Structure 1
Amino acid sequence: MTPRLNLYTAAPDIFKAWFAYSQKVAECGLEKPLLELVKIRASQINGCANCLNIHTSDARKAGETEQRIHLVAAWRDAPCYTDRERAALDWTEHMTQIATSRAPDAVHAALAAQFTPAEQVQLTLAIDVINGWNRLAVGFNFYAPELGWK
Structure 2
Amino acid sequence: MPRLRQVPRSEAAESVVPLYDFLFGDRDPVAEPGTAAGTPGDWWTVFALVPDVFDHCVRGFGVYRSDRRRLDPLLRELGQTRAGWSVASQFVYSQHCKSCRGLGMSEEKIDAIRHWQVATCFDERERALLAYTDYLVEQHGRVPDGVFDALHAHFTDEEILEFTYITGLYFMHAVMTKALRLEFDDRDDPVVEVPAPADFDAAAFARD
Question: How would you bin the TM-score normalised by the shorter chain?
Answer: 0.7 to 0.9
Determine the structure 2 residue equivalent to 1:103: 143
Structure 1 residues 97 and 121, CA, compared in 2 at 3 Å: closer, same or farther? same
Larger Rg: 2
1:73 aligns with 2:114: yes
Matches within 5 A, 1:1-150: 2-5=1-4, 6-27=45-66, 28-99=69-140, 102-143=142-183
Give the letter aligned to residue 135 of structure 2.
Answer: H
CA distance in 2, matches of 1:9, 1:78: 40
Deviation per CA, 1:44-72: give whole Å up to 9, x if none.
11000011111011111111121111111
Percent identity of equivalent pairs: 26
Determine the structure 2 residue equivalent to 1:147: none
Report which structure shows greater RCO (CA 8 Å, sep ≥6): 1
Shift of 1:13: 0.7
Structure 1: gaps spanning 5 or more residues: 145-150
Deviation per CA, 1:94-130: give whole Å up to 9, x if none.
011234x711100111111111011110010011111
Give the letter aligned to residue 38 of structure 1.
Answer: G
8 Å CA contact 2:91–2:183 kept in 1: the answer is yes
CA distance in 1, matches of 2:100, 2:115: 17
Q: Which has the higher helix share?
A: 1
CA distance in 2, matches of 1:23, 1:138: 22
C-alpha root-mean-square deviation of aligned residues, in Å?
1.6
CA distance in 2, matches of 1:104, 1:25: 26
Determine the structure 1 residue equivalent to 2:205: none
